[in-house]
Chains A and B, each alone.
Chain A
C-alpha cells in the first residue's frame, strides 16, 4: 500500500489547496451576493460594463487575468504598491495572492448562480414583508437571503471547485512556491515535469476527483435538505 502514502509535497499541496479555496470562496461570497443583487435589481447607466467586468475572468485566458493581477496588485503594481506602502499588505508570491487569484477566477460562477436564484425570488413576498413592518435591510436578511439559499449553495460549490482547479492565473500572479502558492494543480504540474513523478501525479489526480465528487454530493445533500425544509 505504498502507493497511497502521500509525500510531504503532496500533503502540503492538498492542505494549501483546501485552505486557499476555502478563503477564496468565503471572501468572494459577500461581494458576490452584492454584485448579484446590483445586477439583478438595480438599473443604472454603465450596468452593462459592470456585468462585463464581473464576467471577464470567465472569458479571458487565465494567464491574462493572472498577468493583469500582477500588473495591478504586484509589489510594484498600481494598487499593490499603495497597499504595501500604507497597509503593509503584500499579495504577490504568497498564499494570500493565491486566494485572490482563485477568488477572481471563480467570482463570475458564484455571481451567476446567486443572481439566478435572486431573480427567482418573488418580489411580492418582499413587498408583503414590508407591509408587515420590516425595513428593506430586514426584508433582505429575513426573506430574500433565505429564499436564495439554493442558489448560494450551488454558487459556493461551483466557485469552490473552480478555485481548487485554478492554475493559470495563480502561476502567473504568485508563481509556484511550495508551501505558499503550490496548490494541487500546480503540484501536479510540477510532478509531471520531474523524473519519477508519475506516481505522485496519479495520486493527486485521484485526490482531485475525490474532492470534486465530495463537493458535488455535499451540494446535492444540502439542496435536498433545503427542499424538504420548504415542504415542511
Chain B
C-alpha cells in the first residue's frame, strides 16, 4: 500500500505520504481534524486528491501523473464507515449480499456463510437495519464490506459510535479479520487503546501531515511518539512467542529475545505469536534483584533514555532489554537511584496486558 496525497480543502492542506503493510493493520492515528477521514475517502475514490498516487496491492487506483482515477466501484476497496451506512430499505441478508453479487464468483475469497459465522450475525439476517443495535450494525457493515472480497479494507473509526460494551463486542472480530484473510486494513482511530490492540503499523497524522510512521513497536520506542499519547496510554508493545502454555505455577511463558515474561494462562498453542502491552505506569525499577517480592516478572535491563519533563513529579524512562520498555518512576527515585543512561537495573513488571486478537493465531 503506497499513498501519496495532496489536496487543498479551503484553508486546510492535506499532504500525506506513507506506506502500509501488504497485510495486517495499518492504523491512521491523529486528533479529529487531522485529515484521517479525508485520506480514507480518497483511497476509496469518494473524493479526488489534487495530486498524488494511490497504489494498493500493486494496483494503481489513482495517479495524477498518469491520469489514472478508478471510480469507487472498480477499486475493490471495502469501506466500513463510522456510522455503518447500511441500506435501510434492505434486510440484513440483502445488505450483506449487495456487494457480493456484484463481485464475480471466481474472485470471491470468502463465502456468505463463512462471514456470517465469523461475525456471529446469523440470527439477524431477516431483520432490517433500523432494528439492530449499534454493535450489530457495525458487524453487518464489516461483513458487507468483506463479502465484496476486497483487496483492502478501510475502517473509519468503526467503534467510535459504540459504548464500551459494544466495542468489546466488535473489536475481536476486527482482530480475527486481518489474521484470517491476510487482508491489509487501513484503520482510522483516535483511540490509542484500539490501536495498541490492533495495529501492526502506525501512521500518526497531525494537521494534514504525517508526523511519524512505522512499525508500532519501533514507533512507541520513540520519546516524541510517547509525548503524543495520553498519560494512561504511555507504554510499550512487545511481540513475543509462546514458549510454554502452562508452567509449574500454571502461568504461560512468553519469550522475546533473551527474556521470558510470565502471564496468567492464555489459550494459545506453543509457538504462537502473542503481542503484549505493558503500560509505563506498571513498570518499576530496582537497582538490585529484590530478594522477595510479588512481582512475577523481574527482568535485567539497562537505562537507555530519560524522558524528562520539567514540571512533573513523574518521569518516564526507557529501558533496554534488547527491546525498549518504558517505565514510570517518581522524580525523587530518579535522583535517589541515580538512574543515568547506561546504568544496569532490574525492570519490575507489575502487569502485562495480552492483546486480545493475538491470542487467536490459528483463526
Contacts and interface: CB of A to CB of B under 8 A. Distances in A.
Interface of A: 122, 124-125, 127-135, 138, 142-143, 146-147, 229-232
B95 to A, nearest CB: 9
Nearest to A135: B73
Query: Max chain A CB contacts within 10 Å: which of B71, B72, B77?
Result: B72
Contacts of B344: none
Interface of B: 44-46, 71-73, 75-79, 81, 83, 85, 87-89, 91, 98-99, 102-103, 127-131, 144-145, 148
Contacts of B73: 130-135
A60 B83 CA distance: 46
A208 B130 CA distance: 40
Nearest to A145: B89
Chain B contact residues: helix, strand, loop or mixed: loop
Query: Max chain B CB contacts within 10 Å: which of A125, A127, A232?
Result: A232
A147 B79 contact: no
A134 B75 CA distance: 11
A149 B145 CA distance: 26
Given A132-B148, A135-B71, A232-B128, A124 B81 contact: yes
Given A230-B128, A231-B131, A133 B102 contact: yes
Across the A-B interface, the 8 shortest Cβ-Cβ residue pairs? A232-B128, A132-B99, A133-B102, A128-B85, A130-B72, A131-B79, A146-B89, A133-B73
A232 B99 contact: no
Contacts of B79: 128, 131
B102 A147 contact: no
Given A127-B46, A230-B128, A232-B127, A132 B88 contact: no
Contacts of A132: 73, 98-99, 102, 144-145, 148
Contact of B72 (A131, A142, A143, A147): A131
A190 to B, nearest CB: 47
Nearest to A147: B89
B139 to A, nearest CB: 16
Query: Max chain B CB contacts within 10 Å: which of A127, A135, A146, A231?
Result: A127
B330 to A, nearest CB: 50
A133 B89 contact: no
Contacts of B148: 132-133
Given A131-B72, A132-B98, A231-B128, A125 B78 contact: no
A135 B102 CA distance: 10
B87 A129 contact: yes
Given A127-B46, A131-B78, A135-B71, A230 B85 contact: no
Contacts of B128: 230-232
A80 to B, nearest CB: 43
A124 B82 CA distance: 11
B47 to A, nearest CB: 10
B130 A231 contact: yes
A157 B181 CA distance: 51
Contact of A230 (B45, B103, B130): B130
B288 to A, nearest CB: 59
A146 B102 CA distance: 19
A131 B77 contact: yes
B98 A131 contact: no
A229 B127 CA distance: 11
Query: Max chain A CB contacts within 10 Å: which of B89, B102, B127?
Result: B89
Contact of B46 (A131, A134, A143, A232): A131
Contacts of A147: 88-89
A146 B94 CA distance: 14
Given A127-B46, A231-B130, 6 more contacts: A133-B73, A133-B99, A133-B102, A143-B87, A146-B89, A232-B130
Given A132-B98, A132-B144, A133-B103, A127 B89 contact: no
Nearest to B47: A127
Contacts of B130: 230-232
Nearest to B131: A232
Nearest to B99: A132
A50 to B, nearest CB: 27
Query: Max chain A CB contacts within 10 Å: which of B45, B102, B131?
Result: B102
A19 to B, nearest CB: 33
B98 A129 contact: yes
B296 to A, nearest CB: 47
A147 B79 CA distance: 21
Contacts of B76: 133
A230 B89 contact: yes
A137 to B, nearest CB: 11
B161 to A, nearest CB: 14
Nearest to B141: A128
B324 to A, nearest CB: 39
A221 to B, nearest CB: 18
A40 to B, nearest CB: 19
A143 B86 CA distance: 11
